[in-house]
Amino acid sequence: MNLSSPYATFEQFLDHWDGVRLVTLKLLAVFGNRDLDYRLVPGWRTVGEIFHHIGGHQFYGCRGILLGRWKPLPGEADENWEAHQAAHIHSVEKLHQWLFSVQQLVRVWAGQASETALADFRKDNPWHEGMRGWLQLNHAYQDELHHRGQLYAIARLLGKTPPEVNVEEYPEFWDQRKWK
């Protein structure tokens, strides 16, 4: 498949998102299970709900963009978001598995996507109708960064030391990607 954007190939974009997810998972690791119930302001998501939402936004959006399928199949996470969320938001380990598995699913779906999945207008999208696939994809990516910023602030308020933000700080990830 030859999915690409004006700035990078789709594979390069996903590779970069892997670096973003690496930092998100390192951030998740600074929280304990009891911290996941922390809510900064009444009515806002808890820490666990924010992490779950990051994966949920990516799952729903990327499946729809890449496969053109917005309705869940039996057993998929969004068949019952509330139950899926309840099963994950109180466990750092389960949230880690969720976020990691969604990142992997995006690559599987990319292998099944049509050649024009990112260029096409997604008129069937109940989420952001009329946007091109690549713009919707970037929306899910940016949502992770937005919520990760919230989680950095919350971590600091709880006395945690969040990880470095820059992917360059992680030679195990970055060194093999230099000059590509």
Helix (H) or strand (E) holding 74: none
For residue 136, being part of any structural domain is answered with: yes
d(CA 100, CA 88): 13
For residue 128, being part of any structural domain is answered with: yes
For residue 2, being part of any structural domain is answered with: no
For residue 147, being part of any structural domain is answered with: yes
Residue 76 CB neighbour total at 10 angstroms? 15
Main-chain dihedrals φ then ψ at residue 17, nearest 5 degrees: -60, -35
pLDDT at site 177: 74
For residue 4, being part of any structural domain is answered with: no
pLDDT at site 133: 81
pLDDT at site 5: 52
Nearest to residue 149, comparing CAs of 35, 14, 20?
Answer: 20
Structurally, the chain folds into a number of domains equal to 1
Contact 51, 143 (CB under 8 A): no
For residue 3, being part of any structural domain is answered with: no
pLDDT at site 128: 64
Sorted by sequence, the CB contacts under 8 Å of residue 179 that are 6+ apart come out as none
In the chain (180 residues long), the average pLDDT of successive 10-residue segments reads 64 88 96 97 96 96 91 95 97 98 96 88 69 83 94 97 82 73
For residue 5, being part of any structural domain is answered with: no
pLDDT at site 136: 84
For residue 1, being part of any structural domain is answered with: no
pLDDT at site 35: 98
CATH of the domain at 134: 1.20.120.450
